[in-house]
Amino acid sequence: MKEFKGISASSGVAIGKAFLYVDDVFSQIPRYTITRDEVELEWARFLEAVLAAETEVLELLERANREMGEEQAKIFESHLMMLRDEDLKDQIQTKLHKSSQNIEWVLWDISRELTQKLSNSSDAYLQERVVDIFDVSRRILHKLLFIKKVSLADLQEEVILVTHNLLPSDALVMNKRLVKGIAMDMGGPTSHTAILARAFEIPAVLGLSRATTEIKNGDLVIVDGNAGHIICNPNKEVLERYQRMAVQLKKMAEDLKSLRDLPAETTDGCRVTLKANIEIPEEAPLALQHGAEGIGLYRSEFLFLTPGQSADEERQYRAYKQVLEGMGSLPVTIRTLDVGGDKIIPDLQATEEKNPLLGWRAIRFCLAHKEFFKTQLKALLRSSVHGNLKIMFPMISGIEELEAALAVLEESKAELAASGKAFSEKLDVGAMIEIPSAAMTADILAKKAAFFSIGTNDLVQYSLAVDRGNERIAYLAQPFHPAVLRFIKRTIDAAHEEGIPAAMCGELAGNPHATALLLGLGLDEFSMSAASIPLVKKIIRSVSLKDCQALASAALACSSYVEVENLVTQWMRQRIAS
């Protein structure tokens, strides 16, 4: 039995066989010279590999149409088109004849040339073909090298996914029904793999460092997403204990379902709003199932992560419309594109930065690409006629950026009006508070924003100078640090003084250990992964606002996050039944 200590990223317990997802095919490509007589044999091998890859993709396309929906199916349609691209085949055949190198190397060399060329293109659509080329080349190389590799979309049985790092694009296309748990070497609780795991309700432990080197395919693995533990090949006693725990957790989840239609109201009548964070439109029904009163954060950047699809105005409009119609009259807050830092999208950001976390990201990136920004804003505005839309700008550092973003929004409205396209004239437009400078000037920003939404993931990162994706220092990312609590309190007070609501969409909002404290600080709206809503609601309905305010006052007087943790833990034990 081996035990690994990591970082809890998504709660729950999962037990199953390990599936090791480490694709290093590009490091295994042989290179050797062939004779003229062997050229035709190499070409025949290539065509045979392409045919086998086509068969795989056709199967995936059929399954995607059946299980995933139209957007995901288009990924495989684009891959099928590339496999059948005669121009691409001609390029490969020409290079094969000229170079007299083996077909694996020729394919890799052509792929590398194409991806470099497209990455440097100014055409966003062409840039997005990079991921397609990478995926298709990898699939063909698996056939040529006789590597039996099952992709995350090809899973045939329930597994515990063990991986070094999981890109958001991988997570979006994986078979979420069969991935029961995730164990990952890299990442922290607010990395995007963690966010997706919570959204898909998959128990996950990240920041393990050595899981992929010590866990083998087929090993029996327990993922304890509550404690941040991974247990490989447990003994009988441990296995039985976790099996009982899994049953208990399932029963608790069933019991919490009875709260779905009840209000999030304290025992002394304070009513707050609970909303859901989503990544993709298909999650909207899940939010309603858990009792969400709207969408508090739709992370629009995930539209730009789907391989082979350009996030043009029409595609964005359809995605936003789908969410708005799915939520009916309930409010939907969509955050404009937030890329950079730990959310790099290679198709959009080819320029490397020495310090991306402090660099060209989020609203800065959008304001620098004004036409690109307008494309998103127009799609958002057009979708507004289909529901109750709110727009939110990320990473606002001061009034200048907020005013500049609002000005581009007004220009987008004028252009839509001139073209005769309908949109709602009156929209609530808010600012995310996730930088210390924004929290310190919240009173100024409140005069221009219709609402605030506190992004605690970045607020903690920037307040404490802790890279949230670095597992070595993830332990320092403490949301209960006195500095973070004071920034939160200052933001909420500034919002209320100006008569606008204060929401929170960072991971702290879905942490049941923080619920009472946030109530006491005056938070109006909590937005979290849909699965977290029932437990947070249960806590809200079990406490009084008066007691929560006393807790918050005591917490603000603490001198360290350890004191705050101990204070909150003791308070919760006294008042909340386990």
* pLDDT of 47 strictly over 70: yes
290 is catalytic: no
Distance CA(471)–CA(188), nearest Å, equals: 6
Tokens 């999208």 label which residue?
345
Q: What is the pTM of this model?
A: 0.70
Q: Where are any strands of DSSP class E within 324-422?
A: 331-335, 388-393
Q: State the pLDDT at residue 69.
A: 57
- 180-194, 443-457, 491-505: least confidently modelled range: 180-194
Distance CA(337)–CA(302), nearest Å, equals: 9
- 310-314, 345-349, 448-452: least confidently modelled range: 345-349
C-alpha distance from residue 506 to each of 86, 102, 310, 537, 538 (Å)? 48, 51, 28, 17, 20
Residues 6+ apart with CB under 8 A from 227: 8
- Give the single-character DSSP code of 268: T
Q: State the pLDDT at residue 64.
A: 66
Catalytic residue (one of 232, 366, 505, 548) = 505
Distance CA(508)–CA(413), nearest Å, equals: 35
C-alpha distance from residue 245 to each of 224, 238, 415 (Å)? 10, 11, 57
Contact by Cβ (8 Å): 169, 132 = no
Q: State the pLDDT at residue 350.
A: 45
Distance CA(298)–CA(310), nearest Å, equals: 19
Q: Would you state the structure tokens that stand for residue 153, as one six-digit string?
A: 């979309």
- Interhelix angle 236-256/533-540, rounded to 10 degrees, is 70
Q: State the pLDDT at residue 477.
A: 84
* pLDDT of 129 strictly over 70: no
505 is catalytic: yes
Contact by Cβ (8 Å): 185, 165 = yes
- Give the single-character DSSP code of 84: T
Confidence of residue 346 (pLDDT cuts 50, 70, 90): very low
Calculate mean pLDDT across residues 230-246.
Answer: 94
* pLDDT of 71 strictly over 70: no
Q: Residue 308 CA to chain centroid, in angstroms?
A: 19
Q: State the pLDDT at residue 23.
A: 65
Calculate mean pLDDT across residues 80-98.
Answer: 91
- 48-57, 389-398, 480-489: least confidently modelled range: 48-57
- 5-19, 108-122, 134-148, 392-406: least confidently modelled range: 108-122
Task: Give the chain's domains with CATH numbers.
Answer: 2-23+151-254 (3.50.30.10), 25-144 (1.10.274.10), 260-575 (3.20.20.60)
Averaged pLDDT score across all residues of the chain: 87
Distance CA(371)–CA(379), nearest Å, equals: 12
Catalytic residue (one of 142, 192, 229, 481) = 192
Helix, strand or coil, per DSSP, at residue 554: helix
- Give the single-character DSSP code of 221: E
Q: Would you state the structure tokens that stand for residue 480, as one six-digit string?
A: 């209960």
Contact by Cβ (8 Å): 397, 361 = no
H or E segment and range at residue 320: helix 313-327
- 7-16, 26-35, 295-304: least confidently modelled range: 26-35
